[in-house]
Amino acid sequence: MKQHIIDKIKEYDTIILHRHVRPDPDAYGSQGGLAEIIKATFPEKTVFTVGEEEPTLYFMRRLDQIDDSVYEGALVIVCDTANQARICDQRFKLGKEVIKIDHHPNEDPYGDLLWVDTDAAACSQMVYELYKTSDGQLKMSNEAARLLYAGIVSDTGRFLYSSTTIETMQYAGELMQYDFNRQELFNGMYEKEAHVLKMEGYILQNFNMDESGVAEVRISKELLEKFNATQAETSQLISILNGVKGIRAWVFFIEEDDQIRVRFRSKGTVINSLAVKYGGGGHPLAAGASVYSWEEATNVLNDLKALIIER
């Protein structure tokens, strides 16, 4: 499959890369990293990275604005996106062919070519593997290495998550050999504004955990306004409960204008089936969904508690 993807990249003059809505560093890293590899290898090709920009990720990359006409006869590559509904910028359908590169469960096998590896710790790891196994057909650049390294570091929780493998560490080490400022990159990834740190303090003081080890955090629109925090900034804080002794799984409910975002995390019990029940999905131990009332949020919490107790 990897060779088929390389062959398609060679075939097209215009290549447009997409990723998922509400992006994280792995979404930006895999999308931008692959774009930079293609540019370094085929400087004559026209390559675009598109989608709604996330201000907290400006340090990684700024995206392109293109007309619909650019998609005519173009190859579209979608990175790090499990299902079509979550692809940022639905114009991906306008391309001549679509390639899916992803590490989430393949519940929506869209695209003309699919490479899905649920054992990969990050989609950025897959992109590096595409380069590494190309036998010199693809070239790496310092900028591509910077983006891929950021994606791997982020999606492995700085190599703390169980998804981290020997290959993950090996690839990260090889990427570190390229010329980019890791400290500057880490500053962009992990420095927080003062108001976000205050929100973090609030979460640590107000989360609720029951005797089964299930915790919840409810963040209303009013609370977001109080701390002057965005949904994206708050989503960066979901992993802070990972260090709580005795915790087995937790869920964040983040209220927006039209829905309540649900973010699941687990230390062992597979929880993405619960996310699917509520119209979402994700990884076995990190998933998300949406509900539309606080009563429904309570149902989600009760279902999570039942799931943990069963295990």
Quick one: pLDDT at residue 281? Answer: 86
Phi, psi of 81 (to 5 degrees): -135, 115
Contact at 8 Å (CB) between 202 and 237?
no
Q: Look-up: residue for tokens 């504004």?
A: 193
User: Sheet containing 214-219: which strands, arranged edge to edge?
Assistant: 208-209, 214-219, 249-255, 260-266, 286-291, 281-282
Quick one: pLDDT at residue 282? Answer: 85
Residue 77 CB coordination number (10 Å): 30
Quick one: pLDDT at residue 177? Answer: 97
pLDDT in tens, 199-209: 999 999 999 99
* Average pLDDT for 155-165: 93
Domains of the chain (ranges, CATH numbers)? 1-189 (3.90.1640.10), 194-310 (3.10.310.30)
Per DSSP bridges, beta strands 281-282 and 260-266 are unpaired
The CA-atom distances, in angstroms, between 85 and each of 19, 20, 92, 140, 285 are: 11, 9, 11, 31, 21
pLDDT in tens, 167-226: 999 999 999 999 999 999 999 999 999 999 999 999 999 999 999 999 999 999 999 999
pLDDT band at 283 (very low <50, low <70, confident <90, very high): confident
Q: Give the C-alpha separation, 231 to 303, whole Å.
A: 24
116: Cβ–Cβ under 8 A, 6 or more apart, which residues?
A: 100, 101, 102, 103, 104, 106, 109
Residue 133 CB coordination number (10 Å): 12
pTM above the 0.75 mark?
A: yes
pLDDT in tens, 108-126: 999 999 999 999 999 999 9
Contacts of 102-110 with CB under 8 Å at 24 or more apart are: 102/78, 102/126, 104/80, 104/281, 104/282, 104/283, 105/272, 105/281, 105/283, 106/82, 107/82, 107/83, 107/276, 107/281, 108/82, 108/83, 108/84, 110/78, 110/83, 110/84
Q: Pick 282 or 254 by higher pLDDT.
A: 254
